[in-house]
Amino acid sequence: MTASEIRELLKWLTTDVISFGGGMPDPSTFPVEDIAKITAYVLETYPHAALQYSPTDGVPELRRELAKFVDTYAGIKAKPENVFITVGSQEALEIIGRLFIDPGDVVITENPTYIAALQSWRVYQPRLVGIPMDSQGMIVEKLEEAVKRLKAEGARIKYVYTIPTAQNPSGLTMSQDRRKHLLEVAERYDLLIVEDDPYSYFLFEPIQVTPLKALDRSDRVIYLSTASKIFAPGFRLGWVIANEELVSWFNLAKQALNINTTTFVQYIFMEGLRRNVVLNNLPRVRELYRKKRDAMLAALETHMPPGVSWTKPSGGMFIWATVPPHIDTRELLKVAITKYRVAFVPGHGFSVDQSLRNAMRLNFTYPTFEQIEEGIRRLSMAIKGA
Ligand code: PMP
């Protein structure tokens, strides 16, 4: 096990450090009043069930509500038996590693990819293979080349992990044509796909895409999503949509991990879905995040010296920036925090081979508009001084 760079970093954060580090929502987006009312209602209406242990798969009524939600929201056709409730998507990622990876097995990901997915899987000693991206997301031709090569070597490919919409850390979105192509390749080589989708709720551009799971005709996609960014990350509630056999495997793994996801939280979220709290809040939150993205892009344009480039995210919470090759962003971070009072996440941890040394991830949803402007100004000074 290795320490998460993000978690380690949080120790150094004092109130005068502007943080572009974590992936936290703007706290003004939390539906506090709705949650207060719903909590009282849940305690009045289902006090015994809501405070009791519950089935490992999840509270049945929540599984039913989520089967409806993923259909309305994303066109995913699922029965309640296909829905599995987890302690955030992070638990689903951990369970996937546990179920599938034996030492030396191949796991294919976008490169860069979500730092904490890599962190949870490394424990099981996979061979991680990264596929580059362009503005349309993962380059599927490169994936096919890698799969052919790996199969010829006799490697066991366990799954392809993708965050197709508003990816963490790049903010890029895979085009609809690429999605279809990815599924064709998966069909041809009989690959399982893990689709991680916390951010499709926050697409800022009119891009027409559907989740891979909505296009999946042969049950080869395991779809993950979460209440973290659209309700409250403190709830630690996520869901998996998969075929029933996989759901039974998830059940087996989770029994030993934590028996069930917090029952009370499941009831509150279920009521939130019934009252449309999520769907009603989304337009406002999406607009706020679009403005924050634009503010960060404008600040980067104003302050950054030549030689620094960055992605233009179509959605989500992050910008991925690349600095001149002589700068190691792990070293830069120390100076940025201690001297300039600004923080980010260095690129290394997002790459399968720790190679992205001159890159960094910047979060634009948590800081205020003033902090975005001032923090990017400070960061540009740190880069100029490096
Ligand atoms: N996957 C991705 C791509 C994420 O960005 C995150 C949160 N940062 C997660 C999974 C985990 O989210 P949670 O456990 O809060 O649902």
Q: What is the distance between the alpha carbons of residues 271 and 275, in angstroms, rounded to a whole number?
A: 6
Provide the 3-class DSSP secondary structure of residue 266.
Answer: helix
Please give the C-alpha separations between residue 21 and each of 244, 300, 326, in angstroms, as whole numbers: 37, 16, 22
| CB-based burial label for 139 (10 Å; 0-12, 13-18, 19+) | middle
Do 364 and 310 touch, CB atoms closer than 8 A? no
Report pLDDT digits (tens) over 192-220. Answer: 999 999 999 999 998 999 999 999 999 99
Q: Measuring CA to CA, how many Å separate 205 from each of 74, 154, 184, 313?
A: 16, 42, 26, 9
Q: How many CA atoms lie within 13 A of 70 on its CB side?
A: 29
**How many percent of the chain have pLDDT more than 90?**
93
How far is the centre of ligand 1, averaged over its atoms, from the C-alpha of 114 (Å)? 8
Q: What is the pLDDT of residue 87?
A: 98
* Residue with CA at minimum distance from ligand 1 atom 8: 23
For the segment 70-123, what is each residue's pLDDT rounded down to a tens digit? 999 999 999 999 999 999 999 999 999 999 999 999 999 999 999 999 999 999
The band of 1, judged by pLDDT with boundaries at 50, 70 and 90, is confident
Neighbour tally for 249: CB within 10 Å = 16
The answer, yes or no, to whether residue 36 has pLDDT greater than 70, is: yes
Residue ranges and CATH numbers for the domains of the chain are 5-30+279-384 (3.90.1150.10), 48-277 (3.40.640.10)
ipTM surpasses cut 0.90: yes
Confidence at 3, pLDDT banded by 50, 70, 90: confident
> Which of 4, 5, 7, 90 to mutate to test ligand 1, by most ligand atoms within 8 A of the CB atom?
90
pLDDT for position 12: 67
User: How confident is the model over 215-252, as pLDDT tens digits?
Assistant: 999 999 999 999 999 999 999 999 999 999 999 999 99
Q: C-alpha distances in angstroms, 249 versus 145, 213, 255, 342?
A: 31, 19, 10, 43
Name residue 234's amino acid. G
Burial bucket for residue 49 (CB in 10 Å: 0-12, 13-18, 19+): middle
64 Cα to the center of ligand 1, angstroms: 23
| Residue 196, ligand 1, Cβ within 6 A | yes
